[in-house]
Structure 1
Amino acid sequence: MTGAPPGKDVRSRYASRRSLLLLLLLLAICYAVAALGGVAATDAGSTYRSLERPAWAPPSWLFGPVWTVLYATIAVSAWLVLRRRPLAEVKAEVVFWGAQLAFNLAWTPLFFTAGRYGLAFLDICLLLAALGTTMLLFRRTSPAASLLLVPYALWTLYAAALNLAIWQLDA
């Protein structure tokens, strides 16, 4: 008789199902952050268009597609880490991953709803610090997970520069 023992196949299917459920949970968390941010700033598009912006500011229609892809990469990066090591071994990684999502969520209402550009800039700087730490921690377990966050980090850095420019133009 060849092949794996009967119990091993069942464990493998269970592990695969559990891994898929974890990925779906992480995607749900990331898209919930996006939805909550959207609810917090329902008029963000028109607010953005009404702002005095630098010439290098992107058009408002670009944000939706970019963030849709970025939230997926944020979820997949965490999934790559969590499927390789037990949660007990990656607590710091999860804390910083959660912190960057919390700062991400806080930015939209600070910037668009409250019009607090300076406070939003502080928030996005804290987001970048949490994201950089997340990337460094993720790299220990999965270099691919860390690399998946590079586009997010670059877009967030660009958004921070745009936030700063708008804050200065508003002053």
Structure 2
Amino acid sequence: MLASRGQLRASFLRWALLTVPLCLLGLIPGAIWNADTAWFQALEKPAIFPPGAVFGIVWTTLYVLMGLAFALVCAAWGARGRTAAIVVFLVQLVLNFLWTPVFFGAFEITGGLAVIGVVALLVAMATLLFWKIRTLAGVLMLPYLAWVLFAGVLNFQFLQLNPQADGGFADSPADRVRIAD
């Protein structure tokens, strides 16, 4: 053992001060592009669609757990697979942040489904890689993996229920103004 428990704890805390806020940046796209559009309000909602307030609570909690898991891995200097785990985590995080503008901003239900499918695969990979480095880090990723899979099912059901709305721009000025022939 090259470092004391106190040094390891301090390393984790320093990393957490960086990684938790980094993950919480994921709340920004949801604040910019969200369910308050006429396009989304007009969509038929799946039966399993939770109340709107649930999303803010769940995502905030998940981003904190993800940040703590990421900090555990970042603090595991010299661990086999650490670099790969960090890269996979960061790629999935960027794609996670991208889903909201694709789905809510571009009104692309199919595009959102493609993004969330890749995110789910990368989250599963990150969870396994984290688990190999620090079991607790893998455990902390499990709620996120479960939620991303649930969100993927929701996204798929939105597409099934609203195929005509995929790629639709119900909020654009062009849809509100019709020029006669």
Which bin holds the TM-score, normalised by the shorter protein?
A: 0.7 to 0.9
CA deviation profile, 1:21-77 (whole Å, cap 9, x unmatched):
211100111012322x13441xx1323444211111111111000001000010111
Pairing partner for 2:17 from 18, 24, 28: 24
Q: 1:68 to 1:56 in 2, by over 3 A?
A: same
Q: CA separation in 2, counterparts of 1:125 and 1:138?
A: 20
Q: 1:162 to 1:20 in 2, by over 3 A?
A: same
Q: CA separation in 2, counterparts of 1:95 and 1:56?
A: 33
Residue identity matched to 1:33: G
Residue identity matched to 1:100: Q
Pairing partner for 1:129 from 81, 100, 121: 121
Q: Percent identity?
A: 30
What TM-score results when the alignment is normalised by the length of structure 1? 0.84
Does structure 1 residue 77 correspond to structure 2 residue 69? Answer: yes
Q: CA separation in 2, counterparts of 1:15 and 1:140?
A: 18
Q: Provide the secondary structure at the position in 1 that maps to 2:125.
A: helix
Pairing partner for 2:53 from 61, 68, 74: 61
Q: Which has the higher helix share?
A: 1
Does structure 1 residue 93 correspond to structure 2 residue 88? Answer: no
Q: CA separation in 1, counterparts of 2:52 and 2:130?
A: 32
2:150 maps to what in 1?
Answer: 158
Does structure 1 residue 46 correspond to structure 2 residue 36? Answer: yes
Q: CA separation in 2, counterparts of 1:162 and 1:15?
A: 40
Specify every segment of 5 or more residues in structure 1 that has no aligned partner in the other structure, as ranges. 1-7
Check conservation: 1:27, 1:75, Cα contact below 8 A. Answer: yes
Check conservation: 1:76, 1:145, Cα contact below 8 A. Answer: yes
Q: 1:145 to 1:126 in 2, by over 3 A?
A: same
Q: CA separation in 2, counterparts of 1:150 and 1:18?
A: 23
1:117 maps to what in 2?
Answer: 109
Check conservation: 1:82, 1:90, Cα contact below 8 A. Answer: yes
Residue identity matched to 2:130: F
2:27 maps to what in 1?
Answer: 34
Q: Provide the secondary structure at the position in 2 that maps to 1:163.
A: helix
The size of the alignment, in residue pairs, is 159
What TM-score results when the alignment is normalised by the length of structure 2? 0.80
Q: Provide the secondary structure at the position in 2 that maps to 1:45.
A: coil
Q: CA separation in 2, counterparts of 1:103 and 1:92?
A: 17
Q: Provide the secondary structure at the position in 2 that maps to 1:121.
A: helix
